Amino acid sequence: MRRATIGAVLAAAVVSAAGPALAGGGSGAEEIPTFTSDVAPILFDNCVTCHRPGNIAPMSLTSYAEARPWARSIKDLVVSRTMPPWPADPENSLPFRNERRLDDAEIGTIVAWVDGGAPRGLAADLPPLPDFPEGWTYEGGEPDYVFELPVEYTIAAEGEEDYIDFYSAIPWDEDRFAEVLELKPSNYAVVHHSGAYVVDLPAGKMVVDGVLVDDPNAVSEDEQVEGEAGRVAQRVFNEVNLPGTSKLLSYVPGRGVERHRPGTGKRLTAGKWIRWTMHYNPTGKPEVERSRLGIWFNTVPVTHEVLTRQAGNAFPTDPFGTDIYIVEGEEIKPTRDEDGTVRRAQIPNIPPYEDDWKITGITPITEPITLYGLSPHMHLRGKSLKWVVTWPDGREVTVLDVPRFDFNWQIHYELAEPLHLPAGSKITGIGVYDNSLNNRWNPGPHLEVYWGQQSWDEMYQAFTEYTIESQDLTKLGRATNDDE
Ligand code: HEC
């Protein structure tokens, strides 16, 4: 793929910027590019989803007047490939269909434009700005259904980072599937990140004004949960919080749309709840926020449900075998108490000043799956993350390599071609953390780092999205009427 070195691009750009005088006439290909005919198409395709009014980037780049003052900085950041943000190494990863990178020719055009004095060009050449319907990023028109945060939430001007969960009922009588989902803040300045999950309400709880409260009429947990199996299930829920919970998607700056393949989708289970996990940052003035979750239903019958899980995270009720973590060379497994309660593998804290602290999560595949996407999630000590797939014959392929993890750009990588993994394969996610002074984002190299929600704590979440190949949802409940 299009890999001249940056040096070669710059050299080419210098020649072209010097223009016809040096190149001695010819076809006119060496003319200085203009904003309207050459640069605007690149910015409109690659930058204005974020660089437009009311979106996450600090300035808008939708016109010559807006872009011209930034010309030099645009050149620097596209040459260094800082913008558009795409921290994966394409040389060492499979191709992704949502890849957001400029090719060498596009970078050359921008460099030549800036070095040539950043001319405007003819107004008639300007392409139309892309359409952003109602602010949704997904270009497939208005959503079929919109969930809204149950309240308009007020975030105080100052203080701690604010974590709060809200709950919205799923209003349908039967399960529905979403081919496309978009989680969209109403106020980009305060939403640090957010997530949407499908959940059961915990026992003894009810929802009032969108938040969870104790249900005064609830029977106690012990009375409610019958028998050994029920008790174990309840404890597993409390400990691991997984059965009955499935992740729909997350929003982080620059992300918030998930498009699944036709025939596959995320399940919105009738009678369950959408849990919104919101993480807000104070901005110095009081803010209000009311996120929305747009749903575009599948247009063809759904055969496969898209599932999400983390490498290394064990939970016994699914088609994967028991996962393990290897932390700094030592194997750590989930455990079971005497009464059967499953406890998540306890990952030790990251010691102070460690600059290359490694954790590997291994997920054995026990029945054939199709892998669609990967989402690394780490916090401020995250240094790099790599996913490797091992086939039963031992062959290894690096699916995704993020050599310089960037906390600000938590991207969901969507494989261009879904990957079929037979039983006997495994997925390995290798995360490396830097808790030393070398890490300029490190809020406290002298501190032991705990695992937790706060951004000064750490996370190791190597999410994968997949389907189970043997599943065929169209066959369920259709015992009659088959004439094959
Ligand atoms: C996914 C969203 C996103 C996309 C796409 C994107 N940017 Fe940005 N850009 C940002 C954000 C957010 C910032 C400010 C924070 C930062 O620098 O990381 C930024 C910062 C910048 C800056 C520096 C501004 C400053 O204050 O110095 C420049 C220049 C820039 N972007 C140019 C571009 C160009 C050119 C493109 C397309 C080729 C692009 N960006 C694509 C989100 C984006």
Pocket of ligand 1 (CB under 6 A): 43, 46-47, 49-51, 56-58, 70, 73-74, 77-78, 83-85, 100, 102, 253-254, 408
- How many whole angstroms from 129 Cα to the centroid of ligand 1? 18
State in Å: Cα 83 to ligand 1 middle. Answer: 6
Cα 47 from Cα 67, distance rounded (Å):
11
Q: How far away, in angstroms, is 180 Cα from ligand 1 center?
A: 25
Which atom belonging to ligand 1 lies closest to the Cα atom of 408?
A: 18
* Per-residue pLDDT, 417: 96
Q: Stretch 173-199: mean pLDDT, rounded?
A: 91
pLDDT in tens, 425-444: 988 889 999 999 999 889 89
Pocket test for ligand 1, best of 51, 82, 188 (most atoms within 8 A of CB): 51
% of the chain residues with pLDDT over 90: 49
Q: Whose CA is nearest to atom 1 of ligand 1?
A: 254
Calculate how far, in angstroms, residue 115's C-alpha sits from the geometric centre of ligand 1. Answer: 20
Mean pLDDT of 298-316: 75
Q: Are 366 and 374 in contact (CB under 8 A)?
A: no
Q: pLDDT, tens digit, for every residue of 110-163?
A: 999 999 999 999 999 999 998 765 678 888 889 999 999 999 999 999 887 788
Tell me what pLDDT residue 326 has: 82
Q: What is the pLDDT of residue 352?
A: 94
pLDDT of residue 483: 36
* CA 145 to chain CA centroid, nearest Å: 22
Q: What's the burial of 291, exposed, middle or buried (CB within 10 Å: 0-12/13-18/19+)?
A: buried
Two structure tokens written together for 255: 């992300």
Q: Give the span between the Cα atoms of 249 and 264, in whole angstroms.
A: 15
Kindly tell me if the per-residue pLDDT of 290 is higher than 60: yes
* Buried-exposed string 415-449: b where 16+ CB fall within 10 A, e elsewhere: beebbebeeebbbbbbbbbbbbeebeebeebeeeb
Q: What is the pLDDT of residue 13?
A: 41
- Looking from the CA of residue 70, the nearest atom of ligand 1 is 29
Which atom in ligand 1 lies closest to the alpha carbon of residue 77? 29
Distance from residue 136's CA to the centre of ligand 1 (Å) = 19
* Position with higher pLDDT, 255 vs 197: 197
Provide the Cα torsion 361, 367, 369, 373; round to 10°. Answer: -10
Is the CB of residue 278 less than 8 Å from the CB of residue 197? no
**Ligand 1 binding pocket mutation candidate from 38, 48, 50, 98 (most atoms within 8 A of CB):** 50
- Residue 419: pLDDT band (50, 70, 90) is very high
Most informative mutation of 47, 104, 107, 257 for ligand 1 (most atoms within 8 A of CB)? 47
Q: Which residue, by CA, sits nearest to atom 11 of ligand 1?
A: 57
Angstrom distance (rounded) from CA 52 to CA 125: 20
**Residue 452 pLDDT class (50, 70, 90 cuts):** confident
For 217-253, write each residue's pLDDT tens digit.
775 544 443 444 333 333 333 333 344 678 899 888 7
pLDDT of residue 477: 47
What is the C-alpha separation between 320 and 335, in angstroms, rounded?
17
Q: Taking a C-beta distance cutoff of 8 angstroms, is the pair 411, 374 a contact?
A: no
The string of pLDDT tens digits covering residues 138-151 is 888 899 999 999 99
Q: Please tell me the distance between residue 483's alpha carbon and the centre of ligand 1 in angstroms.
A: 57
pLDDT band at 339 (very low <50, low <70, confident <90, very high): confident
CA–CA–CA angle 27, 28, 32 (5° rounding): 155
Looking at the CA of residue 73, tell me the nearest atom of ligand 1: 29
Looking at 40-44, 227-231, 310-314, which range is the least confident one? 227-231
Distance CA 455, CA 409 (A): 14
Q: Are 452 and 359 in contact (CB under 8 A)?
A: no
Taking alpha carbons only, the member of 125, 100, 99 closest to residue 39 is 125
The single residue listed with the structure tokens 């405007």 is 120
Q: Which residue has the higher pLDDT, 410 or 230?
A: 410
- Max Cα-Cα span within the chain: 89
- Can you say whether the dihedral through the CA atoms of 343, 345, 347, 348 is positive or negative? positive
Distance 57 CA to ligand 1 centre (A): 6
Give me the chain's average pLDDT, please.
82
